[in-house]
Each structure stands twice: as C-alpha cells, then as structure tokens.
C-alpha cells in the first residue's frame, strides 16, 4: 500500500502566490530585482535559503543581522496575508482527492519546508486531516534535501519506497527522488526531468494510484 506525501504551498493551497507577494514587497523596498521567474526558484526552499537566492540579484552585501531583518519583514507581511486565508483557498480537486485516498485506506502526510505549515492548515480547516505533518520547524536541510519527506515517512511508519510525493517545486521533485520516493509533478515542477509523473489535475493522481 502506497502512502502519499503532499507539499503544502502551491499543491494544497494557493499560498505560493502570497509568498510571492511578500517576497516582492521586501525586494521592492530594498531595490532588488524580483519577478515570477526568480520566485519559482524559491518553491520548496526554506525562508533563509529563499532570501539567499533573492540576494544574488542585489549589488549590496548584507550582514547576518540585516538578513534576519529582511526575513522578519517578509514573514510579517506573509503572516498578515494569511489572515484572509480560508477553506476556499484550497486548490481545485484537493479535498476530493484526499477523500478518495482516505476511502481507499491510503495514509496521507504533509512534507513542507515552511515554518508556517500548521498555521496554514488551521486556517484552511485541514489541521486534523493528515496522518502526519513534517514541516520546516523539524528539519535541518530544506528541499532538495530529502529530510522533510523522510521525517514524514517515519511519522507514517512506512518505508520511503512506498511513498508518493506530490510537488510543485523542482527542488521538491529532487528531494523526493533523493529520498527514494515516487515523484508526481504539478505546476512549475513539471519542468523537472526527474519527475516520474506529470499531472495537471489532482484527479490524475487518483488514476496514477489506481484508486477505486
């Protein structure tokens, strides 16, 4: 029996766009070029590593203290944006897929680099739905390192090779494969040559898993 580990931002809920807005405010305020293309590089990556990627475009160098302030600035904006998050922000097909997985007895987990994971799951009313949650508060290395998915598998008490990961991040697909898991790409992650499957809708995942 397979288990399914979902990424959160951009897979379960449209918070990937809120991350974009918050990082964009930080970048604009500091005169750092930032666009959707750069934002795609931040998918699946921790807050600190996201900042490092953004700062590659900056001519200035920043002290550790300044970096902390930039991350705080971004997160404050992001958390304010989360205030308006609600059940209807869950991406299309997610609730239906979760219901079908549960009906088929498939264990489900979240594997996200975000430290805001639990807050978001609460906001959208999915905090008690998953059998396990592994997030950015529990790991040393974010995607493309497999750590967060391995933590999720351990919490599900299943072997990595029995896990199927659903990801919108190229780094997330790399993490899944590095962890010896099956990788399903949706959205931006479809550009990864490592993906085992590419889907446009959640229901295609039910077909891949041969759910009744």
User: Which C-beta is closer to ligand XGP: that of 3 or that of 50?
Assistant: 50
User: Which C-beta is closer to Mg ion: that of 77 or that of 120?
Assistant: 120
- Number of residues interacting with ligand XGP: please give it, by CB under 6 A: 16
Asked about 89 being catalytic, the answer comes back as no
Burial class (CB in 10 A: 0-12, 13-18, 19+), 90: middle
Q: How far is the CB of 15 from Mg ion (least distance, A)?
A: 8
Q: If binding is defined by CB under 6 A, does position 75 make contact with ligand XGP?
A: yes
Segment contacting Mg ion by CB under 5 A, of 24-32, 40-48, 153-161, 176-184: 40-48
Asked about 7 being catalytic, the answer comes back as yes
Q: If binding is defined by CB under 5 A, does position 185 make contact with Mg ion?
A: no
Q: How far is the CB of 26 from Mg ion (least distance, A)?
A: 19
Tokens for 44, please give them.
């699946």
Separation of alpha carbons 175 and 71, rounded Å: 24
Q: If binding is defined by CB under 6 A, does position 113 make contact with ligand XGP?
A: yes
Segment contacting ligand XGP by CB under 6 A, of 94-102, 108-116, 149-157, 174-182: 108-116
Separation of alpha carbons 129 and 111, rounded Å: 14
Phi-psi region of 187 (alpha: psi -120 to 50; beta: other; left: phi over 0): left
Q: If binding is defined by CB under 6 A, does position 136 make contact with ligand XGP?
A: yes
Annotate 79-112 with DSSP letters as a single string: HHHHTT--GGGBPTTHHHHHHHHHHTT--EEEE-
Identify each DSSP E strand in the chain by its residue range: 3-6, 108-111, 132-134, 163-167, 182-186, 197-199
Contact by Cβ (8 Å): 124, 130:
no
Q: Is 29 annotated as a binding residue?
A: no
Segment contacting Mg ion by CB under 5 A, of 2-10, 19-27, 95-103, 129-137: 2-10
Q: If binding is defined by CB under 6 A, does position 9 make contact with ligand XGP?
A: yes
Q: How far is the CB of 43 from ligand XGP (least distance, A)?
A: 5
Separation of alpha carbons 164 and 196, rounded Å: 10
Which strands, in side-by-side order, build the sheet including 3-6? 132-134, 108-111, 3-6, 163-167, 182-186, 197-199
Q: Is 46 annotated as a binding residue?
A: yes
> Which residues define the annotated binding site for Mg(2+)?
7, 9, 167-168
> Which residues define the annotated binding site for substrate?
7-9, 23, 42-47, 50, 74, 112-116, 143
Q: Which residues bind Mg ion (CB under 5 A)?
A: 7, 9-10, 43, 168-169
């Amino acid at each position: 029996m397979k288990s399914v580990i979902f990424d959160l931002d951009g897979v379960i809920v449209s918070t990937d766009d809120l991350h974009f807005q918050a990082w964009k405010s930080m970048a604009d305020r500091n005169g750092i070029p930032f666009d959707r293309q750069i934002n795609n590089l931040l998918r699946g990556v921790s807050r600190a590593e996201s900042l490092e990627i953004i700062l590659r475009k900056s001519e200035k160098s920043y002290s550790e203290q300044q970096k902390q302030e930039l991350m705080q600035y971004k997160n404050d904006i992001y958390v304010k944006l989360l205030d308006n998050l609600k059940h209807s922000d869950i991406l299309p097909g997610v609730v239906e897929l979760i219901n079908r997985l549960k009906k088929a007895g498939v264990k489900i987990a979240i594997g996200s680099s975000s430290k805001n994971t639990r807050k978001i799951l609460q906001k959208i009313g999915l905090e008690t739905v998953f059998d396990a949650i592994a997030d950015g508060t529990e790991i040393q290395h974010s995607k493309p390192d497999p750590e967060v998915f391995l933590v999720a598998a351990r919490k599900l008490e299943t072997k990595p090779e029995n896990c199927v990961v659903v990801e919108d991040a190229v780094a997330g697909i790399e993490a899944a494969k590095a962890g010896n898991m099956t990788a399903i790409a949706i959205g931006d992650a479809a550009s990864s040559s490592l993906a085992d499957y590419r889907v446009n809708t959640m229901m295609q995942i039910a077909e891949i898993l041969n759910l009744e």
